[in-house]
A and B are shown apart, each in its own frame.
Chain A
Amino acid sequence: MTGFRVAGGGPVIPNFGHVNACLKHNGWFCTAWVHEHWGDTLQPALIQHIKLTVIAVGIGFVIAFLLALVGFRWRFLHAPIGALSDFLYALPSIALFELLLPVTGITTTTILIPLIAYTLFVLYRNIVAGLDGVSAEVLESARGMGLTRRQTFFKVELPLAVPAIMGGLRVVTVSTISIATVAAFLIHYGLGAPIFDALGQPDIFRTELVAASALAVLLALAADGLLAVLQRALTPWNRVR
């Protein structure tokens, strides 16, 4: 696969041809370098990171939702599914990436599998809690008015679970953005790549470290903000108090 490099390789030594005082003293944030390497380093890493996050959270949400339907419908399966998601969440991420490397190779799949696994814990529990959170009197009036079990689920329980589901999505999105940087320890991909490149320098290349880290933080804040706006739009009844 092209575009992948094992971490540690690659031309990352700053170009000392230019006489730039900031770079010479390894300043914390040299705008000249950021300007020059936005296109070839930072922007591609950011886009890769967004892709990783969207795919991991998207697939994680679909799996967690299906599991939640099962755990909600057949209560005896709730505890085992919950335990499994706990177990996956407890696995150390670095170890998991390392374990998968021989199986799935140097591919985004190796990064995505652990990221997806980590989303299940929060998403599964939040979705089930949201569905369970619908009050008994609301369910009784739904039943008493002649809603079928299916209508009660789609028209009452699911919409009322949206705040809990969105809350889970926000937590998971931010944590996925953070955990995904660690994956670059093994696979040179996403915003973790420039971070590990910078750390790999004898002196630690501060500007690249700070710029890539700041991008990860800004990405997390932006994603959280976007989901918050979506949540408000989806739950107009929650706004009024």
Chain B
Amino acid sequence: MPTQAAELVFDDATKVYPGRDGAAVDHLSLTVPAGEICVLVGPSGGGKTTALKLVNRLIPLTSGYIRIDGRQIGDYDVTELRRSIGYVIQQVGLFPHMTVEANIGTVPRLLGWDRKRIHARSRELLELVGLDPDTDRRRFPSELSGGQRQRVGLARALAANPALMLMDEPFGAIDPIVRTRLQDEFLRLQQEIRKTVVFVTHDIDEAIRVGDRIAILRQGGRLAQYDTPQRILEQPVDEFVADFVGRDRALKALALRTLGELELAKPDGADGLPRLPQETNLRDALATLVAEHKNALLVLGPDGSPLGVATREDLLG
């Protein structure tokens, strides 16, 4: 699959709804580098969804600019713009009267692809999102579970290989267990396809899990902080951000690092220590130490061989 991604720039982007006091999005300026996931997060009334919909012009800008790879969105033909951007919403919005394959082929058909190419593309995408290209493609949305529908929604958004994806609470309506799995799969997928993604959520934990960068918006659509998850957790710029990320932000920061990233002591005399694989995150490792009343643990390599010992102090850095 060809890799392409666009840089997205919000430049003083402002949205004021007529007849309403104050802005929904207030002079928002931020740059999403090509191939990165930017999560817009914040309380309701923070303008996250409005900011997202400004990009594909579902909502018109009041003032300021939004540029995709340097070109202003206003310079595109609006349907051409939307067809070149993948769009995923919480309720998925699959067409109930079309099969999975026809749903995925929506934008390619609009772009005039031939049937063979559309068919091949939908097979490829079904495989990519973890569905069965042979059986699932003929099914109708009413025959799918919520998680499967959201996978089809994602495949449909990716169909024409857009350089930019807009995702509006894509996993918001899915139960927590499936949501975590979809988040993991989405991140694995992103490793492969490297799209520029704008991802809206109200859930700070999801933002931390998914985002390369997080933009925290506060009431009135003002940007509070735009940073990596690590820096947001370790250096919140003000009370509002600190409150929003929560009292357990130190623990959340631990969850971003794994045992494999630590410098380990030699695995001598490690008998009786808890054993954990190196991809375990530091938060889970610490929880294990607390639960087992131990002060150190043995880190295992991919083949199960001992790599070294990490102490409680090592985990807490």
- Does the CB pair A146–B83 fall under 8 Å? yes
**Size bracket of the B interface:** 20 to 34
- Does the CB pair B140–A240 fall under 8 Å? yes
| Contact mask for chain A residues 122-156; partner B; CB cutoff 8 A; 1 contact, 0 none | 00000000000001011111111111100100001
Contact flag A138-B96 (CB < 8 Å), given A144-B82, A146-B110, A240-B143: yes
Please give me the residue from chain A that is nearest to B81 by CB atom. Answer: A146
- Does the CB pair A237–B93 fall under 8 Å? no
| Contact mask for chain B residues 86-103; partner A; CB cutoff 8 A; 1 contact, 0 none | 010101111111100000
For B92, list chain A residues within 8 Å (CB): 137, 141
For B166, list chain A residues within 8 Å (CB): 144
In this assembly, does A82 line the interface, its C-beta being within 8 Å of a C-beta of chain B?
A: no
| Contact mask for chain A residues 172-198; partner B; CB cutoff 8 A; 1 contact, 0 none | 000000000000000000000000000
For B56, list chain A residues within 8 Å (CB): 144
Partner of B97, one of A141, A144, A159, A241: A159
Distance between Cα atoms of A237 and B141 in the complex (Å):
8
Contact flag A141-B110 (CB < 8 Å), given A148-B79, A241-B142: no
What is the CB-to-nearest-CB distance from B15 to chain A, in angstroms, rounded to a whole number? 17
Main secondary structure of the interface of A (DSSP, over half): helix
Distance between Cα atoms of A241 and B91 in the complex (Å):
19
Distance between Cα atoms of A15 and B97 in the complex (Å):
59
Partner of A145, one of B91, B98, B107, B140: B107
In this assembly, does B106 line the interface, its C-beta being within 8 Å of a C-beta of chain A?
A: yes
- Does the CB pair B82–A145 fall under 8 Å? yes
A-B contact pairs, 9 of them (CB 8 A): A137-B93, A141-B95, A142-B93, A143-B82, A144-B89, A145-B83, A145-B106, A160-B95, A162-B97
Using a CB–CB distance below 8 Å, which chain A residues touch chain B? 135, 137-148, 151, 156, 159-160, 162, 235-237, 240-241
15 further interface pairs, Cβ-Cβ under 8 Å (given A139-B93, A142-B95, A143-B82): A140-B58, A141-B153, A144-B93, A145-B106, A145-B110, A146-B107, A146-B110, A147-B79, A147-B110, A151-B110, A237-B96, A237-B98, A237-B142, A240-B139, A241-B142
